[in-house]
């Protein structure tokens, strides 16, 4: 009977020590998870504030912040499980295999995802810019992680995959404060060239939207087949580009008509020859 009591007491002490060890490991795992979650939130908020300060689109900021938080939280959970003795090696291998399978199935989406990250980091454009990218010209409405939403001048919404945008040239018409308006005005050969140049210069001087610096230029560009072509190049604020472009063309036509300056247009002379031999 005494031997049984002694054996029971020994096993009880062993069981108590093992339970205490497990309890300490669980407490340590809970502590790791708690601290890791706090750090994940802090890092996520820091990145969110940084992106907001860099004027990144709010939808992109929210997605990136949540993605980073999820990655850090997964790493925290793995560390906590490892603390209580769970073998995480096989678990990581399963996640890696699953990630590879998903990656192969979603190659296009991953390319768009990577392109979205590049757009966020390199910032070739931002929301509100008028760009020409991915075969579409329009105002950037929203930059998302897989696609960019653009609004065309006729108010159509076009959703362009990010990979299509970064895969070709990107022309940002809004990135610079000033733009040059390039016009080619043709006059007939029998028109007064000096008078035509003076009229064009006066049109530009009388337009308040045309900037004095850099100075506008009116130069003979080419002696073409049926016209003398003049390059008209005023500098304007980017917001005034199209207004100056359209208004200048209209003024040129009206004033040239009033002053007798001819604007040639393609013509075809047809000669009919009669056959007198019958």
Q: Residue 207's domain spans which residues?
A: 178-259
Q: What pLDDT tens digit does each residue of the chain (278 aa) get?
A: 554 455 445 555 666 666 666 777 777 778 888 888 888 888 888 888 887 777 766 656 666 777 788 788 877 877 777 776 666 565 666 666 655 555 544 455 677 777 877 887 778 888 888 899 888 889 888 777 778 889 998 889 999 888 888 888 899 988 889 999 999 999 999 889 999 999 999 999 999 999 999 999 999 999 988 889 999 999 999 889 999 999 999 999 999 999 999 888 776 666 677 665 55
The CATH number of residue 69's host domain is 1.10.287.1260
- Domain count of the fold of the chain: 3
In a domain, 187, yes or no: yes
Which of 172, 193, 212 is the endpoint of a domain? 172
In a domain, 161, yes or no: yes
Same domain, 222 and 237: yes
In a domain, 168, yes or no: yes
* Average pLDDT value over all residues in the chain: 80
In a domain, 9, yes or no: no
Residue 214 preceded by cis peptide, ω within 30: yes
In a domain, 270, yes or no: no
Tens of pLDDT, residue by residue over 124-160, are 888 888 899 888 889 888 777 778 889 998 889 999 8
In a domain, 18, yes or no: yes
Which of 139, 154, 172 is the endpoint of a domain? 172
């Amino acid at each position: 009977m005494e031997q049984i009591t002694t054996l029971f007491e020994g096993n009880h002490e062993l069981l108590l020590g093992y339970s205490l060890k497990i309890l300490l490991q669980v407490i340590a795992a809970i502590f790791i998870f708690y601290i890791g979650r706090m750090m994940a939130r802090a890092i996520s908020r820091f990145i969110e504030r940084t992106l907001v300060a860099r004027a990144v689109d709010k939808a992109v900021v929210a997605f990136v912040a949540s993605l980073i938080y999820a990655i850090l939280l997964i790493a925290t959970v793995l560390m906590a499980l490892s603390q209580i003795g769970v073998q995480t090696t096989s678990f990581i291998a399963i996640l890696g295999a699953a990630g590879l399978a998903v990656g192969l199935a979603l190659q296009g989406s991953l390319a768009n995802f990577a392109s979205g990250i590049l757009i966020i980091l390199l910032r070739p454009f931002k929301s509100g810019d008028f760009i020409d990218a991915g075969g579409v010209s329009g105002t950037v409405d929203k930059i998302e992680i897989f696609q960019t939403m653009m609004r065309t001048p006729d108010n159509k919404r076009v959703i362009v995959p990010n990979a299509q945008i970064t895969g070709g040239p990107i022309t940002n018409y809004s990135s610079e404060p000033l733009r040059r308006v390039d016009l080619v005005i043709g006059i007939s050969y029998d028109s007064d060239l000096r008078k035509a140049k003076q009229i064009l210069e006066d049109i530009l001087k009388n337009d308040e939207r045309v900037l004095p610096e850099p100075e506008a230029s009116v130069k003979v560009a080419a002696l073409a087949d049926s016209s003398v072509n003049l390059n008209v190049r005023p500098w304007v604020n980017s917001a005034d580009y199209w207004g100056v472009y359209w208004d200048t063309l209209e003024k040129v036509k009206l004033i040239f008509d009033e002053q007798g300056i001819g604007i040639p247009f393609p013509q075809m002379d047809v000669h009919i020859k009669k056959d007198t031999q019958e």
